[in-house]
Amino acid sequence: MALQRILFGDNQFFGVNHMSEDKARAQAMKFNNTQSIMRVLDYAYESGIKVFMCTTYDQVGDIADIVRDNPDKYPDFEFYPCMPYAHKFANSLGEVGILETLKRFSPSSVMGTLIRGATSVITQDVEKVMQLLIDAELKQFRDVSTPVIFLQNVVTDLLLGLKFYDMLGAFHRYIRDKYKAEAGFITMNLPLLTKVLKEQGIENAIVCANINKIGFRMCGGIEEYRNVIQKGDFRVVAMSVLASGAIPPKEAIKWACELDGLHSIVFGASSPANIRNTRDLIASYWNL
């Protein structure tokens, strides 16, 4: 599968800014409906950015519906889902309880889901529980293109910390075998993750991490990241290249694009001008 070089992210849509709570709050208010999000995605798509790398929050299901219902307008639109969106399950458990939550998110029959869940608990089969949650998260992406499916860093790094390395391999296999997609892994510790994935026999994996000039949220430091990227054993996707606005765009993107071996960059923006400018900067430095 050809991993796209320029990816469009979603932090700006639901109020994530690691440097400014005020900016995050303003963004969340600006994009409080699907139409406002879709307008920005249309800007990105018309600019030639065909991939939406998105958390699996509820509004993404509405966006998937729009793309699914308009195949002529979005013939090559791709989603790269990032799971899990833990708040969704936590909120549902608080509202309606565990059985209704399973009904709400079940991708198959309710009885089948309950049986699978009960069996998993009884046998303590963590892998089956994981599969159940994956199926629930991906239900909203039926009949749209999802060639890469990411595990969020909150889970990736928890598994690394607990040394539950086999679960990373299990995620990779389940995504490959059931969804015919590639598993991606988001992390705040690129050096450790890539070492573990090699030990799990996962070759040429897609890994996404903060990569920026000031080392913002880069566990292990810039040089360790540079070494991993240069080796070329993994397809590395850089996120937070601007370090949440701490680095001017041109300076930040130039630095990232000059990293030998970096495969892709994901960025978020909310205006047509910023989308085009960022796309043009990346394209110029990479001669795309």
Single-letter amino acid code for the residue at 15: G
Q: Identify which of 128, 130, 136, 176 has the alpha carbon closest to the alpha carbon of residue 155.
A: 130
State yes or no: pLDDT of 45 exceeds 60: yes
What distance in Å separates the CA atoms of residue 3 and residue 176, rounded to the nearest whole number? 15
Q: Helices (H) and strands (E) in the chain — how many of each? A: 12, 8
Look up residue 182 and give its DSSP letter. Answer: E
Sign of the CA dihedral with 83 first, then 1, 272, and 33 last = negative
What distance in Å separates the CA atoms of residue 106 and residue 114, rounded to the nearest whole number? 9
Secondary structure (DSSP) of 184-214: EEEES-HHHHHHHHHHTT-TT-EEEEE--TT
- Rounded to two decimals, the pTM is 0.86
User: Which pLDDT score is estimated for 7?
Assistant: 98
Residue labelled with tokens 């041109």: 250
Q: What is the mean pLDDT of the chain?
A: 87
Q: Which residue has the higher pLDDT, 224 or 96?
A: 224
Dig out the tokens for 95 from the structure.
Answer: 């509202």
266 bridge partner residues: 7
State yes or no: pLDDT of 44 exceeds 60: yes
Ordered structural domains, the chain, with CATH = 6-286 (3.20.20.100)
Where b means 16+ CB within 10 Å and e means fewer, 126-140 reads eebebbbbbbbbbeb
Residue-wise pLDDT tens digits, 71-128: 999 999 999 999 987 666 556 556 766 556 656 655 555 445 554 555 445 444 678 8
Q: Give the whole-number percent of the chain exceeding pLDDT 90.
A: 70
239 bridge partner residues: 210
